[in-house]
Structure 1
Amino acid sequence: MIEIRRAREEDADAIREMFHLAYGDDYFYPQYYNVQSLKRMILSDDTLFLVAEDTKTGAILGTASVLLEVGAHADLVAEFGRLVVHPEGRGQGIGGKLMQARVEFVQDRLHVGMVENRSAHEFSQRISHQHGFHPVGLLPDKFKLGERESAALYVRHFGQALELRRNHPHLIPEIYPLARLALENCQLTCDAIIEAEPRAYPHVEQFQIQEMESELYPVLLRFERGRIKQREIFGRMRLHYGLFQLRASHAQYLVAYRDDIMVGAIGYTVDENERTGKIFELVSLDDTPIYYLVSELVRRCQAEGQIDYLEADVNAYSPQMQQTFLENGFLPAAYIPAMVFNNVERLDVVRMVNLLTSWNGDSLQVYEVGRPVASLVDESLTLKNVLPQLIQTVKSAPLFAGLSEEQQQYVAASAELESLQAGEVLFRPDDPADKIRVIISGEVEIQNCHSQTVGTIGPDESLGDLASISDQTHRVSALVKAPGQAMLFSREELVQLVHTRPDIGMILFRNFSRELAEKLQRMNVHTLFKQD
């Protein structure tokens, strides 16, 4: 018979052995391999440790923990830590029993419980879902287990958490699709408001940067306490927790000065074993140093090469901060409803991630309920690898003439990169006209229904735009004559883009008309329409 009970000091050796069996020598939290560290966690009021014991043999066959008070200001947020089952205990439902026991032990102490499930297999994701947790994100390559591994983030709300949630978050367009899925997964109506023309904080660079030393702590503390602006970045650490606790948590600050006057600071923690970083605080005298502090931290992380993964929890009601992080390479990886307290309400949070290594999502094993969320994050990361090339095409193609820099980035982020192979037929007469392409490189030959060439499409020219807009089928064929690449939009993506950003839609339709006129002048119009 299996009994679930609180762990005792004498269980530390068995717990350590289970983690070693499960993860080998590469576990990213080394304290679980240290018996004294395990004993301290077992005795701590901030950690609940459970074990599954075989009452006949006395063997410990499973363990699970809950890290309480992981949010700042007693946000009533807890992280359901790693759940491990001994090889000899598998197939007995121990994982489910441990998860259920964790929920029963802590549900009266929480508003929000989070689980970062491994994505190498579906086991923990399935257990989380079966016990009321919902998928809200994918944290790409967050864990270091030999190779880097992603985490599927699941959330469950307790008590009055959702009753206290503030309505109508204001989101930049890149975050909205993920937010909609996460809210619906948590059985909430998507009430988000899209900021049609988001603006980042101003690009100002005349600052001097200094890393915080001990003697600077009192000055920075007084500076922070004098700030009354609404918090836009959240984390479990705060400057006023004390210098000792900041040091113990490997917290660091970059402090910005202008004319020898302190004007802002950004706080972050670094886990050298895991090669990850987390921004937990950003304070400023005014708006001017914010963008520079974020970009300078990213620049240092890239230059020093000590961090592969950098994340920040951004206020879902602050689109200006969201846009600032987006422009500095961060992408939305999770959307957590009602995560933090603010006055008398709970605020939604966007977890934004800057992956400083290359992304390859081929090894993901995502449980079926979480696949739509994981796919969105995967697509964003894949796009990030090719985004500079797509932006360059947007800047040079006549179809996008007249777009502002912000509009160019938005259009590029709505597209895909497509490879064109010589001899490939992109479409034939009567095929659905459901895609628009802008040729980046290579050449496409246009043929009528008698296989006669009526024209060619080359770099920076569009293909399929008129048919897609008019919701028609194609009347000609398109054959790749020289291999290359294309910028690809589906009709649905284009309709969504125009609906979300009518300012962009007006410019595109104007350019569609102009480009069509130029094509008709260049091609044999008679042949195109008479014989097709």
Structure 2
Amino acid sequence: MTIHVRDAVESDVAAIRDIFVACYGGEYPYQQFLDVHSLKKLVFADDTVLLAAEDDATGRVVGTASVVSNVGAWGDLAAEFGRLAVHPDARGAGVGNMLMQERLGRVRDRIHVGVVENRVAHPFSQRISVQHGFVPVGFLPLKLKFHGRGSVALFTRHFGDAMSLRRNHPRIIPEVYAIAERALENCGLNCDVIVETGAVPYPHLDDFELQTLSTEGYATLLRFQRGRVHQREVFGPVRLHYGMFQIRARNSRYLLALSQGQVVGGVGIMIDEYEHSARIFEVITVDDRPVRFLLSEVERICRTEWGIEYVEIDVNAHAPRMQKTLLQLGFHPVGYVPALAFHDVERFDVVKMARLNVPAPSREMALVPQANPFADLVIDALEQHTVVPRVAAALPRIGMFRGMTDEQSEAVASACSVTEFPSGTRVFQEGHPGSRLYMILDGQIDVLVGETPRKVGTAQAGETLGEMSLISQPCHSATAVAGSSVTAAVLTHEKLRKVVDSRPDIGVIIYRNLAEGLGQKLRRLDETMTHEAVDSSARPIPSWKEKR
């Protein structure tokens, strides 16, 4: 079989559609490639290169691929290498590699960054990407609707002056570091990131009204520079100044924040109703105050009203406050693309973050070895995220956190991990340094003192252990042993300090309750010790909860 690759023409449209139907049936995620009229538009579109692989002997089109340049803003010089498909009858003849090679030849002088989103159902397209110099930089969990939902491995390659224009030393939160380090290494760069351990999220304020953008509010929002001209923390393929026609043509909309009837900010969202997915592409505000409100409202509406299952956002790698805020709203870092976005006179690294409103994906995937670490990092984070609702729901029952709002409980829960202790397991030892607070979710933990351990109490679900070391003692004053199978939320002192530093309102509640709770426990312990001194007969000591 002799194949040559050329630009697709209008007469190829039916054959290209048939290739996608033969490969994927009627559930291909990119529905425009199954529609003849949409394909005709792509043939003539300025922002798309659509190729056809033709069998010279028969004149039949047996493969197709495209390069789409609307993955970023017009000035980003970024393009997606996508929609590569080879008819099942023509596979094994190197058609896929020929299409990739031709795409590179067509656009290498026109772009700075190329990205590929390869399905993880099979490694064929991933291997083609690797063979042509693309490297893995992320894992997008369940992004596509394909026989349910399917994940994709994210690959990138840089061209021309991309790296010489890159802004050095991105500022990222700790949760981004592992993905950023691997992505930078894969791209041949030193890991030059600055980890911002003390990044403070945007304030949680809800004294705003929400409204959909109309032509009436357009001019007001256009006058704001923060997030649009300066301090761009979010990047995307649509921008407000493109005009209302372009915004609506891309199935996009803006939600506005109003304060006392005046527009103070807006957030742009692109909706794919077929995919049940959304992309946040711009956040414009007059100051810091409406940022979190706008993002939290988008997250809420996507989840509760629009039926969105996957929400994605490209965040400036030099914007740790935005990264931290999104993390608290349930978004997770899923990719890191160096030099993806162009702003002013530099190219900026981008942290891809996503929120998944369906269960985490299975780990059974057909990934090339280079992509496996990204999938593990992302799925680990998603599985940890399931901990947050459980811990947040339990916190109001724990005295130390009594009086917190739902939002404050979620902020604390996001800093916790959950650990299981089989019955008889030592949780901590008397005299050993204390560095963790244990919140019992299920089961009971016995408290013992002395060289010959003597039981002096029992902590039940809804109580905490280890809190005394937070106030005055660096070492545990007793030994704790699981009296049954125990599930406990664990909060390290370091993470608690970071929560309190960034959220003084939470700190006030915690330390007030902590002081009251310790006073009650000390009184109960005094009563127990006094009782034992008077009554020398050995008998079981009731739990703290029974003595209340």
TM-score, normalisation: structure 1: 0.80
The residue aligned with 2:484 is 482
Corresponding residue SS for 1:267: strand
Relative distance call for 1:270 and 1:412 in structure 2 (3 A) is: same
**4-13 or 213-222: which moved more?**
213-222
Tell me, yes or no, if structure 1 residue 92 matches structure 2 residue 54.
no
The residue aligned with 1:280 is 281
Q: Does the 8 A contact of 1:136 with 1:155 survive in 2? A: yes
Instruction: Indicate the percent of aligned positions where both proteins have the same amino acid.
Output: 43
The residue aligned with 2:120 is 119
Q: Does the 8 A contact of 1:120 with 1:363 survive in 2? A: no
Q: Does the 8 A contact of 2:141 with 2:361 survive in 1? A: no
Aligned ranges for residues 238-317 of structure 1 at < 5 Å?
Answer: 238-317=239-318
Relative distance call for 1:258 and 1:454 in structure 2 (3 A) is: closer
The offset of 1:244, in angstroms, is 1.2
Tell me, yes or no, if structure 1 residue 164 matches structure 2 residue 165.
yes
The residue aligned with 1:320 is 321
The residue aligned with 1:230 is 231
The offset of 1:273, in angstroms, is 0.9
The offset of 1:150, in angstroms, is 1.2
Q: Structure 2: how far apart are the matches of 1:453 and 1:15?
A: 78
The offset of 1:313, in angstroms, is 0.9
The offset of 1:90, in angstroms, is 1.6
The offset of 1:235, in angstroms, is 0.7
Relative distance call for 1:76 and 1:24 in structure 2 (3 A) is: same
Q: Structure 1: how far apart are the matches of 2:238 and 2:378?
A: 27
Q: Structure 2: how far apart are the matches of 1:394 and 1:178?
A: 31
Q: Does the 8 A contact of 2:328 with 2:414 survive in 1? A: no
Corresponding residue SS for 1:175: helix
Q: Structure 2: how far apart are the matches of 1:284 and 1:128?
A: 39
Q: Structure 1: how far apart are the matches of 2:229 and 2:62?
A: 51
What are the Cα deviations for residues 101-147 of structure 1, in whole angstroms up to 9, with x where unaligned? Answer: 21122111111001111122222122212211111111111111130
The residue aligned with 2:349 is 348
Q: Structure 2: how far apart are the matches of 1:96 and 1:291?
A: 45
- Amino acid in structure 2 at the alignment position of 1:295: S
Relative distance call for 1:366 and 1:424 in structure 2 (3 A) is: farther
The residue aligned with 2:134 is 133
**356-365 or 283-292: which moved more?**
356-365
The residue aligned with 1:471 is none
Q: Does the 8 A contact of 1:308 with 1:355 survive in 2? A: yes
What are the Cα deviations for residues 78-102 of structure 1, in whole angstroms up to 9, with x where unaligned? Answer: 0111211111112222222221221
Q: Structure 1: how far apart are the matches of 2:424 and 2:61?
A: 60
Aligned ranges for residues 12-31 of structure 1 at < 5 Å?
Answer: 12-31=13-32
Q: Does the 8 A contact of 1:196 with 1:501 survive in 2? A: no
Q: Structure 1: how far apart are the matches of 2:125 and 2:232?
A: 33
Corresponding residue SS for 2:278: strand
Q: Structure 1: how far apart are the matches of 2:277 and 2:319?
A: 25
What are the Cα deviations for residues 255-309 of structure 1, in whole angstroms up to 9, with x where unaligned? Answer: 1121222211111111111111111111111111111111111122222142111
What are the Cα deviations for residues 416-462 of structure 1, in whole angstroms up to 9, with x where unaligned? Answer: 534556x79799xxxxxxx9894532246899xxxx99898865667
Q: Does the 8 A contact of 1:437 with 1:486 survive in 2? A: no
The offset of 1:55, in angstroms, is 1.6
The residue aligned with 1:216 is 217
Q: Structure 2: how far apart are the matches of 1:123 and 1:425?
A: 48
Tell me, yes or no, if structure 1 residue 67 matches structure 2 residue 51.
no
Q: Does the 8 A contact of 2:437 with 2:493 survive in 1? A: no
Q: Structure 1: how far apart are the matches of 2:79 and 2:358?
A: 29
The offset of 1:153, in angstroms, is 0.9
Q: Does the 8 A contact of 1:316 with 1:348 survive in 2? A: yes
Q: Does the 8 A contact of 1:161 with 1:338 survive in 2? A: yes
Tell me, yes or no, if structure 1 residue 199 matches structure 2 residue 185.
no
Relative distance call for 1:496 and 1:55 in structure 2 (3 A) is: farther
Q: Does the 8 A contact of 2:228 with 2:283 survive in 1? A: no
User: Which has more radius of gyration?
Assistant: 2
Q: Structure 2: how far apart are the matches of 1:328 and 1:84?
A: 37
What are the Cα deviations for residues 170-199 of structure 1, in whole angstroms up to 9, with x where unaligned? Answer: 111211222112111211111111112111
Corresponding residue SS for 1:109: coil
Aligned ranges for residues 139-178 of structure 1 at < 5 Å?
Answer: 139-178=140-179
Q: Does the 8 A contact of 1:399 with 1:462 survive in 2? A: no
What are the Cα deviations for residues 391-415 of structure 1, in whole angstroms up to 9, with x where unaligned? Answer: 57789889999xxx99997886576
What are the Cα deviations for residues 455-511 of structure 1, in whole angstroms up to 9, with x where unaligned? Answer: 988656679xx9xxxxxxxxx997x7633424479xxxx89979999989xx9xxx9
Relative distance call for 1:265 and 1:417 in structure 2 (3 A) is: same
What are the Cα deviations for residues 332-361 of structure 1, in whole angstroms up to 9, with x where unaligned? Answer: 111111011111110011111111222233
Q: Structure 2: how far apart are the matches of 1:322 and 1:443?
A: 38
The offset of 1:315, in angstroms, is 1.0
Q: Structure 1: how far apart are the matches of 2:179 and 2:408?
A: 20
The root-mean-square deviation of aligned C-alpha atoms, in Å, is 4.1
Relative distance call for 1:395 and 1:165 in structure 2 (3 A) is: farther
Corresponding residue SS for 1:82: strand
**495-504 or 238-247: which moved more?**
495-504
Relative distance call for 1:290 and 1:226 in structure 2 (3 A) is: closer
The residue aligned with 1:430 is none
Corresponding residue SS for 1:206: coil
The offset of 1:2, in angstroms, is 2.2
Corresponding residue SS for 2:18: helix
Tell me, yes or no, if structure 1 residue 186 matches structure 2 residue 187.
yes
Unaligned runs of 5+ in 2: 428-434, 470-478, 508-513, 530-548
Q: Does the 8 A contact of 2:220 with 2:263 survive in 1? A: no
Q: Does the 8 A contact of 1:69 with 1:78 survive in 2? A: yes
Relative distance call for 1:239 and 1:410 in structure 2 (3 A) is: closer
Q: Structure 2: how far apart are the matches of 1:461 and 1:255?
A: 43
Q: Does the 8 A contact of 2:85 with 2:96 survive in 1? A: yes
Q: Does the 8 A contact of 2:54 with 2:62 survive in 1? A: yes
Q: Structure 1: how far apart are the matches of 2:407 and 2:336?
A: 23
The offset of 1:44, in angstroms, is 2.0
Q: Structure 2: how far apart are the matches of 1:394 and 1:183?
A: 39
Relative distance call for 1:18 and 1:343 in structure 2 (3 A) is: same
Matched length: 494
The offset of 1:28, in angstroms, is 2.0
The offset of 1:234, in angstroms, is 0.8
Aligned ranges for residues 360-379 of structure 1 at < 5 Å?
Answer: 360-379=361-380
The residue aligned with 2:330 is 329
Aligned ranges for residues 515-530 of structure 1 at < 5 Å?
Answer: none
Relative distance call for 1:495 and 1:226 in structure 2 (3 A) is: closer
The offset of 1:74, in angstroms, is 1.8
Relative distance call for 1:123 and 1:496 in structure 2 (3 A) is: farther
